[in-house]
Amino acid sequence: MEVQERLQDVVSRIHAAEKAAKRPKHAVSLVAVSKTFDADAIRPVIEAGQRVFGENRVQEAQGKWPLLKGETPDLVLHLIGPLQSNKAAEAVALFDVIETVDREKIARAISAEMKRQERTLRLYVQVNTGLEPQKAGIAPKDTVAFVTFCREELDMAIEGLMCIPPVEENPGPHFALLAKLGRECKLDRLSMGMSGDFETAVQFGATSVRVGSAIFGSR
Ligand SMILES: *Cc1c(COP(=O)(O)O)cnc(C)c1O
């Protein structure tokens, strides 16, 4: 299959999952995760009509997206990997959405950069639903307080929550936990689900899914 057929296949599966979950068509948006693929590999996916992409490294994204954004101005770029404070300026300049706000220090750095650059990004708080030590994200029990801190202390609008369930676990309970935390925070956007489990995520209320290898092939 060509990359464009794989994209179409993923889009069809999202629509089928929306229908099966009795959710409205287009309730779920697709973030095409293009990490490790270069501009030439990404262009056919843009040409097929996909506009929303995700990258997990600031430096890697800087090597391809200024060019691609120049060619297609309505692209929307999500940062889905951990952000270090010393990369906040570059991240705020390049990305439209940061999905990995997960601690006070980085929230402060993003807030300061958005003011300095007069850019408003859409922001998600990453939750470490599996409490995995090697994984980024705020602990579930601290999520409401952290979202409140972002809103009240930093005057930052948070759009939703994001999670990456532990690889070897059934993702359903993690998606359910993220949805519950979303309700507690009065947030209705949930970024959850990847190539292996996006249909399950749609069933649990995902409003965006981050799909890489099912579109671009294995990395
Ligand atoms: C790589 C990545 C994805 C996409 O993973 P696939 O299994 O290739 O679909 C989604 N989310 C995050 C945070 C990632 O780093």
- Taking alpha carbons only, the member of 219, 209, 175, 218 closest to residue 10 is 209
User: What's the confidence (pLDDT) of residue 1?
Assistant: 78
> What torsion do the CA atoms of 130, 134, 136, 138 make, to the nearest 10 degrees?
50
Distant-in-sequence, close-in-space partners of 114: CB < 8 Å, separation ≥ 6: 92, 120, 121, 156
Q: What is the pLDDT of residue 194?
A: 98
Distances in whole angstroms, Cα of residue 213 to Cα of each of 10, 37, 53: 11, 10, 13
The per-residue pLDDT for range 7-24, each reduced to its tens digit, is: 999 999 999 999 999 999
User: Which tens digits make up the pLDDT trace of 137-147?
Assistant: 999 999 999 99
Ligand 1, atom 12: closest residue by C-alpha: 80
Tell how far the Cα of 211 is from the centroid of ligand 1, in angstroms.
6
Digit-coded pLDDT (tens) for 192-218: 999 999 999 999 999 999 999 999 999
pLDDT at 95 over 90: yes
What sign results for the dihedral spanned by CA atoms 150, 151, 155, 158? positive
Classify residue 44 as left (phi > 0), alpha (psi -120 to 50) or beta. Answer: alpha
Pocket test for ligand 1, best of 194, 198, 200, 209 (most atoms within 8 A of CB): 194
Span 30-66, pLDDT tens digits: 999 999 999 999 999 999 999 999 999 999 999 999 9
